[in-house]
Structure 1
Amino acid sequence: MIMERQTDASAGRKAALRAVVALAVFLGVLAAVFVSRPDDLYLWIKAFHVIAVIAWMAGLFYLPRLFIYHSDAPSGSQQAETFKLMEQRLLRVIMNPAMMISWTLGLYLAWDAFRFSGGWLHAKIALVLLLTAAHMHQSREVRRLAADGAPKPARYWRMMNEIPTVLMMLIVILVIVKPF
């Protein structure tokens, strides 16, 4: 039996298909909940929002680690090509959809539950904008590396990896404590 390499095009197509199916199922369940309008719709939307945020944060934490390993791989090597593929798949299949769902559901919750009022909510949205900027920064690096740009030093990505962590902690404190 010949094992299929995960870097082969057919493995990529299968992974993309699984991701599309998973996303479609997630969105289908979300749509079914929204259309059925259960009494606890707010809690359902909040649960889906948290699930999307967890997926987005996982990607924001993991992608800089891939950049660190990529920076150690010799340019043009099979290892560097594997990292390129991993980075692109993580960004396209997990991070981008999770960010879009997080934003959509978060804005819905901000409007439905709070009518966009509350200093804590405004501060949270500002921090989520910064988190989105970190996402965009990582996205640019994925595109740069895919075009065979020289990777930034591992030390840079170790420091950049702390930004989503700090933002996440501040956002969680604002959401749970609502200090103002």
Structure 2
Amino acid sequence: MSTSYLWIKAFHIVFVASWFAGLFYLPRIFVNLAMVPQESHAERERLLLMARKLSRFALILMVPALVLGLALWWMLGWHVGGWMHAKLALVALVLGYQHACHRMLHKFEHFENRRSHRWFRVFNEVSVLLFIAIVVLVVVKPF
């Protein structure tokens, strides 16, 4: 493996981990937002500000993670194996998850959220399961 491949791989891992950190915590803020009493405007606004910043942070980190991932795929060759197809399908789900988070934030901003804090606690675990599945596919390459 070339030195450039290893550098790209290292930074890909850093950006993916950072991107997922945002995806791990953003739904946790939604849990707290769903629990805020109606009359607690200051707490709600503080949580919304945190969620907006974290959502932007995750979106910004997503870009280099995806670009570096595509560079690695190109360097490996397009026909790597079935594990890569499965990984790319899961990455598509992660992108959908991030989009869903963005829409949920929009609903909180416009007082349209109808989901409970319990629902958001379960939703919060989806990103963890996606992360585990992607890591297993990349490391184990089961097919």
TM-score grouping bracket, smaller chain normalisation: over 0.9
* Residue 123 (structure 1) aligns with: 86
Q: Following superposition of structure 1 onto structure 2, how do residues 51-66 of structure 1 map, counting pairs within 5 Å?
A: 51-66=14-29
Question: TM-score, normalising length from structure 2?
Answer: 0.92
- Name the structure, 1 or 2, with higher relative contact order (CA <8 Å, separation 6+): 2
* Structure 1 ranges of 4+ moved more than 4 A: none
* Residue 61 (structure 2) aligns with: 98
1:85 matches 2:85: no
* Residue 30 (structure 2) aligns with: 67
User: Which consecutive unaligned segments of at least 5 residues does structure 2 have?
Assistant: none
* Code of the aligned partner of 2:135: V
Larger Rg: 1
Q: Distance in 1 between matches of 2:90 and 2:134?
A: 7
1:90-129 CA deviation, whole Å, 9 max, x = no partner? 011x100111111111111111113243111111000111
* Code of the aligned partner of 1:46: K
RMSD: 1.4
Q: Distance in 1 between matches of 2:46 and 2:10?
A: 34
* Code of the aligned partner of 1:87: A
Q: Following superposition of structure 1 onto structure 2, how do residues 1-180 of structure 1 map, counting pairs within 5 Å?
A: 39-75=2-38, 77-92=41-56, 94-150=57-113, 152-180=115-143
Indicate if the aligned counterparts of 1:70 and 1:151 stay in contact, CA closer than 8 A. no
Question: TM-score, normalising length from structure 1?
Answer: 0.74
Indicate if the aligned counterparts of 1:145 and 1:151 stay in contact, CA closer than 8 A. no
How far off is 1:60 after superposition? 0.8
How far off is 1:151 after superposition? 5.3
Q: Distance in 2 between matches of 1:151 and 1:41?
A: 48
How far off is 1:162 after superposition? 1.4
State the number of aligned residues.
141
Q: Distance in 2 between matches of 1:153 and 1:175?
A: 35
Residue 113 of structure 2 aligns to a residue whose secondary structure is coil
